[in-house]
Amino acid sequence: MRVYSGIFATFLFVLTLSCDGRFDIEKVHVDNGNALRVPIHFHTTGIVSTQIEYWIENDSMTFFTERNQPGKDHSFTLQSLVEKSNYKFRIHSKRGEENYTSESYSFSTISLPISLPSFELEIEFDGAFQGLILVKKVQYPGQHLLIDQKGEIRWYEEFDSDLYRPFSWTTKGHVLSMISDHKFQEFDLDGKLKFSMEKGQGDLIKLIHHEIIKDRNNNYVTLTRNNKVFDLSEIGGLPNDTIKGDGIIVLNDSGEKVWEWDIFSFSDPLASENILKKKNDWSHANSINLDIDGNYLVSFRHFNQIWKIDSKSGDVIWKIGKDGDFLLNKNELFYLQHAAHINSRGELMLFDNGRSNRKISRALSFKIDEKKLKAEMIINISLPDSLFSFKQGSAYLIEDDKVLFCSSIKYRVVMTNLSGAVLWQLKSSHSFYRAEYIDCPESFHY
């Protein structure tokens, strides 16, 4: 899955730590193929629990991994390291009330790959946010990155191919990512592959696009490209013409189809204006997420609408947006939207891209009353005109009082307060499809 820049090195130490004949530590392996992450493996002849203490050479600050469960084979991954640095570490072993400490070992981290995006912090935030920002570079070599408030790369995973744009962060702390339009993978921050699925395996027989998430039952949910043949000869098309639409497929971790949905079963494309011009991308679904009740929220970019879809029957429960089921005033209408989801306050939130005659991108949220079909706008934050992004992008409520934006076209990740004041702004050498905020993992440190 990964391709590393720099020199790949494996260090092998053979240590015999005699503890009154009770056990020895043997064959300590250090693999440093990643500048910011180093796996360490070793074996003990006795059953003990262990942890690793590590530090930069000549630095007084030390860090500890969590203690593992008792056993003989031990593996740790040191995260959030500093490139081109000399490190030392010791192994602390424990059995019952007895504690043992090994001698010190050394390793050196390599340089960051030159292919990683560069970042420039244009506006620094005084009140430091606590999490990290997950972004994805799609150009070869494809990369996932975690960025901190200083604009520094704290973690990366590199692939030997270009990548498709969609990704998500799972409740297990994994990255779920589309590799191409026929393949997706799930992996953890240690770089270990947890799941991989591609077209032709199991029940996945259609191309996928624009989103991949996991539901509450640990199933994989993705949008699919669904096509249907229509007679369009009366409007200038062919007797057997193809209209390209969207679908949903839910797969379990065995690759078996749990549920499927097809837009053509619930909406008639022939009722759409200019369908002959729109036939190659009629609906353009660009995100799917779960509502609080477990039903689906799907953003249809070309309809300027978000649909709520029953996750059992497939029925369309409601539509919000242009010509939808909710009465919205002119200022509440959104256009070409992305990243529709339920925020931490239970509101429907989205990135309103805007359009050619309204070149303003916004974060919007609505409090939805399904019984009365009323939508109350709660958040309405416009980005500065200079950050208008007519396509792609995202907006997420973080820490309850800030919004994280991705202005894809302008190569910026931006944080504002709820009044719209820009608190923090990061410029990149690459464009990102979206930017997600995650809590800082316990294995990371500052």
pLDDT tens profile 257-267: 999 999 999 99
Compute the distance between CA of residue 170 and CA of residue 294 in angstroms, rounded to an integer: 16
Q: What's the token pair of residue 15? A: 């240590």
Look at 433 and 19; give whichever has higher pLDDT: 433
pLDDT one-digit tens code per residue, 372-404: 999 999 999 999 999 999 999 999 999 999 999
Give yes or no for residue 1 having a pLDDT over 80.
no
| Length of the chain measured in residues | 446
Number of H helices, E strands in the chain: 1, 33
Q: Give how far the C-alpha of residue 362 lies from the chain's centroid of Cα atoms, to the nearest Å.
A: 21
- Mean pLDDT within 196-213: 97
Compute the distance between CA of residue 188 and CA of residue 389 in angstroms, rounded to an integer: 31
How do the domains of the chain map onto residue ranges?
A: 10-108, 166-283
Compute the distance between CA of residue 6 and CA of residue 300 in angstroms, rounded to an integer: 43
pLDDT one-digit tens code per residue, 111-120: 999 999 999 9
Residues near 96 by beta carbon (within 8 Å), at least 6 away in sequence: none
pLDDT one-digit tens code per residue, 310-343: 999 999 999 999 999 999 999 999 999 999 999 9
Model pLDDT, residue 24: 82
pLDDT one-digit tens code per residue, 58-89: 999 999 999 999 999 999 999 999 999 999 99
Give yes or no for residue 13 having a pLDDT over 90.
no
CA distances (Å), 378 to each of 105, 307, 418, in order? 55, 19, 10
CA-angle at 69, arms to 66 and 71, nearest 5°:
130
Residue closest to 156 by CA, chosen among 38, 37, 39? 37
Compute the distance between CA of residue 237 and CA of residue 225 in angstroms, rounded to an integer: 21
Q: What's the token pair of residue 305? A: 């609408």
Residue 437 is which amino acid?
Answer: Y
Beta bridge partners of residue 111, listed in sequence order: none
Compute the distance between CA of residue 84 and CA of residue 166 in angstroms, rounded to an integer: 31
Most confident of 240-244, 270-274, 437-441: 240-244
Residues near 313 by beta carbon (within 8 Å), at least 6 away in sequence: none
Model pLDDT, residue 11: 53
Compute the distance between CA of residue 122 and CA of residue 16 in angstroms, rounded to an integer: 52
For residue 141, whether the previous peptide bond is cis, meaning omega lies within 30 degrees of 0, is yes
CA-angle at 62, arms to 56 and 67, nearest 5°:
120
Q: Which CATH architecture describes the domain 10-108? A: Sandwich (2.60)
Model pLDDT, residue 136: 98
